[in-house]
Amino acid sequence: MAIDATMPGTIVSAPAAQSSSSSSTATTSTTPGIADNFQTFLTLLTTQLQNQNPLDPLDTNQFTQQLVQFAGVEQQLKSNSQLESLVKLQTTAQATQALNFVGATAVVDGSTTALTKSVAAWGINVPTSSTITVNIKNSAGQTVYSGDFKMAKGDHQSFVWDGKGSDGAQWPDGKYTISAVGKDADGKAVAVSTEIQGTVDSADLSQTPPMLSIGGQSFTVDQIRKVVLPAMLPTTSTGS
């Protein structure tokens, strides 16, 4: 009687006595399954060869195909393990990069920032010298300040608000949102974009990717457009 030489769909490791050290290794293995049954697979192939019917031997191409398929799966498992190591290295690199930003003055796209100790700062970008009208609203949507300013052409110009409303009243610390529209010397509208400018207070490494805290808001490292020295920024202040 010919013996079926095909490989079963699922390979189960034969029970074997294990020492405490081998048990520990098996427990900590991160690639269970086929990778742990490699020896069983080879034993199965050897048994097939030993017990095949001489009148109906195992086809050479089929035997080779089984070896190639299993070797391919083993290689893929090893590649996955290496990719996991690369991901861990990348995560560590991201954490290190995030820590380097703590204490720096960063610029990110946005319009809402925190008024802290009567100081709030934004970055304003204008493509040409313009007169801009600035409006600042509190978290309730109430306009607390409006003013017109002249700004030269340039990016990342610092606009600092001292927390005083249009009526001179001092507003409390909290989150405020800026909006701005501009006109050039010919009275034509120009595009005005705003950015959040502030010190990176902390880096939350428990998040993936790590989150940086700027003006009471969280941002990823790739959202930072620029890191600057405060003294290097052209400044427009409502207190001047």
For the segment 144-200, what is each residue's pLDDT rounded down to a tens digit? Answer: 999 999 988 877 678 899 999 999 999 999 999 999 999 998 999 999 999 887 788
Q: Is residue 89 part of a domain?
A: yes
User: Are 93 and 113 found together in one domain?
Assistant: no
Q: What is the pLDDT of residue 15?
A: 38
Q: What is the mean pLDDT of residues 12-32?
A: 42
Q: What is the pLDDT of residue 161?
A: 92
User: Are 156 and 40 found together in one domain?
Assistant: no
Is residue 12 scored above 90 in pLDDT? no
User: Are 179 and 119 found together in one domain?
Assistant: yes
C-alpha torsion angle, residues 65, 70, 71, 77 (rounded to 10): 150
Is residue 233 scored above 60 in pLDDT? no
User: Are 143 and 201 found together in one domain?
Assistant: yes
Is residue 4 scored above 50 in pLDDT? no
- Decide: residue 170, CB within 10 A, 0-12 exposed, 13-18 middle, 19+ buried: exposed
- 98-155 per-position pLDDT tens digit: 888 888 888 898 899 889 889 888 888 899 999 999 999 999 999 999 999 998 887 7
User: Are 78 and 190 found together in one domain?
Assistant: no
User: Are 118 and 233 found together in one domain?
Assistant: yes
Q: Helix/strand/coil (H, E, C) string of the chain?
A: CCCCCCCCCCCCCCCCCCCHHHHHHHHHCCCCCHHHHHHHHHHHHHHHHHHCECCECCCHHHHHHHHHHHHHHHHHHHHHHHHHHHHHHHHHHHHHHHHHHCCCEEEEECCEEEEECCEEEEEEEECCCEEEEEEEEECCCCEEEEEEEEECCEEEEEEEECCECCCCCECCCEEEEEEEEEECCCCCEECCEEEEEEEEEEEECCCCCCEEEECCEEEEHHHEEEEECHHHCCEEECCC
Q: Indicate the number of domains in the chain.
A: 2
User: Are 116 and 190 found together in one domain?
Assistant: yes
In terms of residue numbers, what domain contains 56? 30-101
Asked if 232 and 158 count as a contact pair (C-beta separation under 8 A), the reply is no
- Which neighbouring-strand residues pair with 190? 182
Work out the end-to-end distance of the chain between its first and last CA atoms, rounded to an integer number of angstroms.
Answer: 102
Q: What is the mean pLDDT of residues 208-228?
A: 85
Q: Of residues 77 and 16, which shows the higher confidence score? A: 77
Q: What is the pLDDT of residue 88?
A: 75
Q: What is the pLDDT of residue 188?
A: 92
Q: Is residue 13 part of a domain?
A: no
- 26-54 per-position pLDDT tens digit: 444 454 555 556 677 677 777 777 777 77
Q: What is the pLDDT of residue 99?
A: 83
Q: Is residue 227 part of a domain?
A: yes
